[in-house]
Amino acid sequence: MTDFECLIHVDRRVLWHPYTQMRDYEREPFLFVDRAEGIRLFDGEGRAYYDTISSWWCIVHGHGHPRIKAAVKAQMDRLEQVHFAGTTHRPAILLADRLVSLSPPGLARVFFSDNGSTACEVAIKMSFQYWKQAGFPRRERFISVDRGYHGDTIGAMSLGGTAGFHGLFVPLFFPSFRIPSPYCYRCPAGRNDPDSCGLDCLAPLEAILAERGEEIAGVILEPLVQAAGGMIVYPVRYLARLAGIVNAHNVHLILDEVATGFGRTGTFFAADRAGIRPDFLCLSKGLTGGVLPMGATLTTEEVFQAFCDDYEKGKTFFHGHTFTGNPLAAAAALASLDVFDEEGVMEGLVKKARRLQEGKERFRSLPQVGDVRGIGMIAAFEIVRDPMTRESYDPALRIGWKIYRAGLEKGLILRPLGDVTYLFLPLSATEGEIDDILDRTYQVLSGVGRVA
């Protein structure tokens, strides 16, 4: 037995992996990732796999970027962890300042946490407490979007719309309102042109706000891409209209940019395309270049001021995590932002994103590809049994999973979302790598009829 085979043996005995039916693991080996370089992962035998999903939508500048590695090493020598209540430190201060300057107008304060779920939980709790302290104690409910995803903690799940993941836990959720997903491919109103439809899917939002607006604290959504919901890309004008409606009702707009932030959609933040002013911005994943866990929730000075008072008034935000503002993660995040500046990442992205978006179009001719969608460095292919009727495959067939297994044979990590196969590429992918990834993915999807 090789060293890594021994390790796999121990893994099977003691580990429990996330979002994984461990029974599958008894039948099929998992990919043992030994090391990574650039946008490739290498298994125990040295075989390369493109990290086509950026290691769960995190990696921004590729694995092992020297600038980020050096920053984390230097920070390690100086200060690796300290509690963040009653203390402060250089990387957290500098990072907060840079995030404020990069984020949409009006956001002035940064609250650090550990991951994407906590970044959203913080926004939900802050919004809730804000209204209590601002003289609107009835504003206790949130509105979220079907097929939205904000994490796996109870609060984040309460406002998620991925029943397949979270349906079982419904009895634990707090009550909220849900509006339809702007899922143009499966538009309930049967419109086929997302660029010119009447945005009928926003009517329920207007109705809830008209009838119950005084009970609503905030609306939470992922701007432009409902990622875990199936890489559902929706029009900018939906986001702009939604923001206008929310604003008109004096309700908080909570943007969850955990997946879309840091360039993935072609602009630094997805919200930038809509020119809107959120009250909360939730960040994680790409924040540290994707190399260390960290979450951040940005909010306005107005929200902040509602919590700032004499201690005995009881307005403190009693929330925090052990690793809040961790110095290593903050140093990685600062280095990642430096890479954006020094390597002209956003400028270089224009051509790369075009390459991917143009390159994905040829997949429309594949018989089992019902929808092709994408934005920036994201491209998604919805696999259907019948493209005419848009009928899905029987979930028991696990088409997405079979495609994933076939992708591994071609050196790709095509981890699916149900029957949606997608690419969520690191911004550092070169045009040549994008072409190669598209070619290999095309070959895999050409064989869907065989794996079905």
Ligand X SMILES: Cc1ncc(COP(=O)(O)O)c(C=O)c1O
Which chain residues interact with ligand X by CB under 6 A? 115-117, 120, 149-151, 222, 227-228, 256, 258-259, 284
Alpha helices in 249-311 (DSSP H): 301-305
CA–CA gap between residue 124 and residue 372 (Å, rounded)? 33
- Cα gap 223→232, rounded to integer Å: 11
Q: How far is the CB of 292 from ligand X (least distance, A)?
A: 12
Dihedral angle sign, alpha carbons of residues 396, 384, 263, 193: negative
* Closer to ligand X by Cβ: residue 17 or 47: 17
CB of 362 to ligand X, least distance (A): 28
Residue closer to ligand X by CB (options 146, 433) is 146
CB of residue 416 to ligand X, shortest distance in Å: 14
Nearest-approach distance from CB 52 to ligand X, in angstroms: 16
Residue in this structure with the two tokens 């018989």, named with its chain if needed:
367
Q: What are phi and psi of 330, to 5 degrees?
A: -65, -40
The nearest distance, CB 244 to ligand X, in angstroms, is 22
Return the residue nearest ligand X (CB atom): 116
The residue annotated as part of the active site, out of 51, 114, 146, 256, is 256
Which residue is catalytic, options 49, 149, 234, 393? 149
For residue 36, how many C-alpha atoms fall within 13 Å in the half-sphere facing its CB?
20
Q: Least distance to ligand X from the beta carbon of 132, Å?
A: 25
The answer to whether 394 and 190 are in contact (CB under 8 A) is: no
List 114, 130, 234, 285, catalytic entry: 285
C-beta separation of 144 from 225 below 8 A = no
Nearer to ligand X, 151 or 327 (CB): 151
Q: How far is the CB of 185 from ligand X (least distance, A)?
A: 20
Q: How far is CA 263 from CA 149, 190, 251, in A?
A: 19, 32, 27
- Please indicate whether residue 19 is annotated as part of the active site: yes
Nearer to ligand X, 333 or 448 (CB): 333
Active site annotation includes 149: yes
The β-bridge relationship of strands 280-283 and 40-43 is unpaired
Nearest CB to ligand X, comparing residues 20 and 250: 20
Q: Quick one: 38 or 295, whose CB is closer to ligand X? A: 295
Residue 346 contacts residue 195 (beta carbons within 8 Å):
no
Nearer to ligand X, 96 or 123 (CB): 123
b/e burial code for range 165-194 (CB count within 10 A of at least 16 → b): ebeeeeeeeeebbbbbbbbbbebeeeeeeb
* Closest of 228, 289, 236, 237 to residue 261, by C-alpha: 289
Is the distance from CB of 233 to CB of 380 less than 8 angstroms? Answer: yes
Closest CA to 266 of 427, 39, 56, 151: 427
